[in-house]
Amino acid sequence: MDRFARQRLVPGWDQDRLGRSRVIVCGIGALGNEVARLLALAGVGHLLLCDPDVVAESNLSRTPLFRPADVGRPKAEAAVPELLALNPGIRVAPRTAALAEGVGLAELRDADLVVSCLDSVAARVQLASRCNQVGVDLLDGGTNAWGGEVRYYRTGEDCYGCALTPGRRAVEDDPWSCGAAARTTVAGATAPVSALIGSWMAATAVRLLLLLETEPGILRVDAAGRQAGPVSVRRDPDCPLHRRIPPGAVQRVALTHRATVAELLAATAPGETVLAWAPVRIPGQRAADATAGSTKLADAPPQARLADVAVAPREILPVIGRGPDGARTVRYLELSGEEEEASR
């Protein structure tokens, strides 16, 4: 018996295409749970889940993939067995790290779709910028007490940052959470609203993966007023998030993020400087101290592995140098991939 028999009856449905699709889900809280669950049920072949947070007891009222025994476990890891129980035929890879060190730019570029279920402005701005750098579409969503938004940003058009003021683009805010951790803003949230917005996001994601007509833009959903409608947004020509990495400036190297800093630096010319996208983390250093550190990989211990200094798998790293005329040059090194250790 074909588990997808009813889906195949939907006009325009291509189950084989879904089975080949690779989707990156950033944020595995309430929205991420719903999106990942529904994509797994639909038969999306490969899900990469990125979230640095752990399951809190207050998550359990809105996250169908988590159980009481998961409290304290990384969210991305806790979701894996439940997703495989729903559909043993998929591959699920958890990344228990913050976005910039959890998912590399080449992984974003090569994904069929990137889905943002993040819970802060700063994280959304960062993901929008990274998606724009490599020219990949982004599906984003968020909730409020009685509704939320589903935002589909097509590459080359408006992005999340276009609707923000320069001050909001630069904000370093804390996640909106149901938890009570220090420096965390507590916001009300319910299972029905999370399921509503998550379902709408998943339906949009499936249409995009099936290459069915889907208009970009923002849809605002008001459950209290029982209505939904589009929100008009235009691309801001001054939005700084639209900087693109020229594909011709990227050189792939036969090194993964398991290589050492010294091995990567050996792949550069004398006088070149390799930069990370965030301050490098010195092994043993407190995270709070790392945030104000250098982005130069040369400032990390030479024998430290790239993964240990906060470089993501398949990252694309800028290399700054000088041309024969003394002018500044920029090229990029793309780390190679490795067999996905978590195709469980």
β-pairing verdict for 147-153 and 176-177: unpaired
Model confidence band, residue 283 (pLDDT cutoffs 50, 70, 90): confident
β-pairing verdict for 273-274 and 217-222: unpaired
pLDDT tens, position by position, 224-271: 999 999 998 899 999 999 999 999 999 999 999 999 999 999 999 999
CA distances from 274 to 245, 261, 277, 308, 341 (A): 15, 10, 10, 16, 27
- Helix, strand or coil for residue 205? helix
* Residues 6 or more apart whose Cβ sits within 8 Å of residue 297: 261, 264, 265, 274, 275, 276, 280, 306, 309, 311, 317
* Run of H or E residues at 229: strand 227-231
pLDDT value for 282: 83
Amino acid residing at 107: E
A 10 A CB-CB count for 338 gives 11
pLDDT tens, position by position, 124-136: 999 999 999 999 9
pLDDT tens, position by position, 178-222: 433 334 456 678 999 999 999 999 999 999 999 999 999 999 999
Task: Determine contact, residues 246/134, Cβ cutoff 8 Å.
Answer: no
Amino acid residing at 297: L
Predicted TM-score (pTM) of the model is 0.91
β-pairing verdict for 217-222 and 316-322: unpaired
- Report the distance separating Cα 249 and Cα 333, nearest Å: 9
Specify whether the backbone of 27 is left (phi greater than 0), alpha (psi in -120 to 50) or beta.
left
Structural domains of the chain sorted by starting position, each given as residue range(s) with its CATH number in brackets: 5-231 (3.40.50.720), 246-335 (no CATH)
